[in-house]
Structures are given as structure tokens and as C-alpha cells.
Structure 1
Amino acid sequence: MVRTRPTWNEQFLEIAYVVAKRATCLRRGFGAVIVNPKTHQIISTGYCGNASGIKDCIDLGKCYRDMIGAPSGVLYDLCNSIHAEENAIMQAGKERCLGNVIYVTGIDFTEENNLFYGKPCYKCESKIITAGLEEIIFFNKNCKKIKDIKEENIMKLKVADVIIGRKNNPFENQEKQVTILKEKGLQFKESQ
């Protein structure tokens, strides 16, 4: 049998998976790893969880977003958790983020710890842009188990492309959220 080593991308996504296991969310856990792409050195890691000293959903045994029936993908402002990307950026500081890469992995705790599509949310993308990170690396929706983290399932998103997309449609995220909430029966005043 020939032994192969994981690629750098595979390795750092697997590390992000291990970091995600520390998450304190009852629904999903995310892990983020900021890496210098030239030296392959880890700058910082982060997982989703409450601010230090504040009880989290695991401690409380309940999730406020679950209690109110918040659908996936919206109403993140109602969650006390700091996202993995935010934690990794805060741990590193802006100076150590500049020009580096962030790897993000998600775990769905409600489905036997299956991997969950790791593309950062809109607000985390904003923080990634502001921190000066140059690339976001995550896996696509075909990746369900840790063994599926292979180059063919890995997606790369240049931060410059995120900025261009936002310039072209600055309200895309809000429109998606309103659509989800309307599907759940919430009424909105029509814009003029």
C-alpha cells in the first residue's frame, strides 16, 4: 500500500474540523484556521462559542434560536455565539491576518456530526474583508464526512471576488434572508 500525505488544503480543513468540535452551539459547530500560505504556519484558530465567561448553549442545554423556531441562515443577531471566523481573527489581530488565508469547516451536530457546508456567513465575510485576509477556503456541499475532505471537494474564494460581488448587488444577503422569512410566513412592508 502506498502512503500519501494530505495536501496543505486538506490538512488545514481537517484541523478546522477538529477545532469545530470545541464549538458550544447545539446546532452546528464551525472551526476556522488562519494560515500563512507561504510558510504553511498556523497563525490562529477559532470556533463558535460565547464570549469568555458567558454561559453557552451547551451549559444551558438550550438554544434561543431553536426556542423561537429561527430558520437556518437568518436571524444570527439573536445568537449569543461568536462565530469561528470572528474568534480566529480576534485571536490573530489584524496585523497577523493581512495577506493570509482562512480555512473554515462546519459540523452539523444534529446529523451524526456530518460535515456542514463551510462557506462563511455574510457578516463573517465582512470581517474577513476588513481583517485583510486574501482567500477563504472551505469544502463544497458534496463533502459529508471527514474522509470526503479531498482537493476535488475544496472551494477557494478570493476575497477580492467577494468585494466585487457585493458592489454588484449590495443587498443580496438581505434579500435572501427576507425570502427565507417570507417562506416561513413572516409579513414585510413592501418597499417603495
Structure 2
Amino acid sequence: MEKVFWGVSLLAERPGWDEYFFGIARAVAKRSPCLKNKVGAIAVNPESKRILAAGYNGPAVGEPHCTKCRREGLPSGVRFIEKGEPCPAVHAEENVVAMAARHGVSIQGCTVYVAGLNYPPKLCPVCRWLLKNAGVKAVIIEGTGEVKL
């Protein structure tokens, strides 16, 4: 007879570390108010397997959320619009660095896991440079794999 505790089989396989961290990044992404794609990122110490910071895409702290997507019809990753106002969203990867800095946590040597709910995110050049300058060792995007920094 299968033992079940709180609706979870006790015989279920434990997820591997990548699967575990991507699950958490997806949960973080659910906090995003973005109308186009919800993206979550977490910075993990690869030795201790501890999560040091988390971030999701959306407007800067205290700024209003969008009621209409300014990027409608534009490809993923395009942030600035030639005519009209730019997308006000801060990327999840930028927010993970900002949240670590805000709380005095170094993410040097960390691995950053990134997951999107609507489609796999792409690491933009600005986020790539920011993560590299923060000393992040590796970035792994769910569905596409590791990105060279």
C-alpha cells in the first residue's frame, strides 16, 4: 500500500537539484505582473545549494503595473520601442542582482537559474554583462541550458 502524506506519495522520486531550482524559479515567476511573459530567477550557492536571492520581471519597486502591454507584437527580448514609451519592466536577472545588493548578499560564484512561464526566456546582453560583473559563475535557463558569460 502506497503511503501518502498531505497528498504527496512518500515513494515519489526526489527531484535533482536543477529540477528543484527550476521549480522554485517558476514559483518566483508567478509573482511577475508582466502581461507578456512571467520570468523568475534565483541565485544559488553551488556548494551549499542555498538560495541567496530571487527576482522576477516587472516594474521597479513602487512603480505602477502595466494595464496594457507596450511590447505587444514585438519579439521576446525587445525592450525599447522606437516610438512610444519603453517597457518599464526590470528583468528577473536584474532584479536578482538588485535584491542581493539591497540585502548585502554577495552572489559572486553563484549559479543563476532562470525560468519563464509562457515561453523560455532569453538572456539579453545587458543582463549577461550585469551577471558577469556581479561575479555569477553560471546561468542556466530552463529549456535551453547553460549560457556562457
Q: Same fold, TM exceeding 0.5?
A: yes
CA–CA distance in 2 between the matches of 1:31 and 1:53? 19
1:24 to 33, 52, 68: 33
Please give the per-residue CA displacement for 1:31-59, whole angstroms capped at 9, x wherever unaligned: 000000000010010000111111011xx
Letter in 1 for 2:48: T
Q: Show the counterpart of 1:101.
A: 111
C-alpha contact 1:134 1:158 (8 A) present in aligned 2 = no
CA–CA distance in 1 between the matches of 2:60 and 2:105? 22
SS of aligned partner of 1:97: coil
More helix by share: 1
Query: How big is the shift at 1:74?
Result: 2.1
Q: Show the counterpart of 2:69.
A: 63
Q: Show the counterpart of 1:166.
A: none
Q: Show the counterpart of 1:127.
A: 130
C-alpha contact 1:104 1:119 (8 A) present in aligned 2 = no
Identity of aligned residues (%): 38
Question: How many corresponding residue pairs?
Answer: 134
Report whether the alignment pairs 1:74 with 2:82. no
Please give the per-residue CA displacement for 1:142-190, whole angstroms capped at 9, x wherever unaligned: xxxxxxxxxxxxx22342xxxxxxxxxxxxxxxxxxxxxxxxxxxxxxx
C-alpha contact 2:32 2:58 (8 A) present in aligned 1 = yes
Report whether the alignment pairs 1:157 with 2:138. no
Mapping of residues 135-150 of structure 1, within 5 Å: 135-140=138-143
RMSD (Å) for aligned C-alpha atoms: 1.9
CA–CA distance in 2 between the matches of 1:76 and 1:20? 22
Unaligned runs of 5+ in 1: 109-115, 142-154, 160-192
TM-score by length of 2: 0.81
CA–CA distance in 1 between the matches of 2:23 and 2:105? 25
CA–CA distance in 1 between the matches of 2:75 and 2:71? 8
C-alpha contact 2:35 2:69 (8 A) present in aligned 1 = yes
More strand by share: 2
Report whether the alignment pairs 1:90 with 2:98. yes
Unaligned runs of 5+ in 2: 3-10
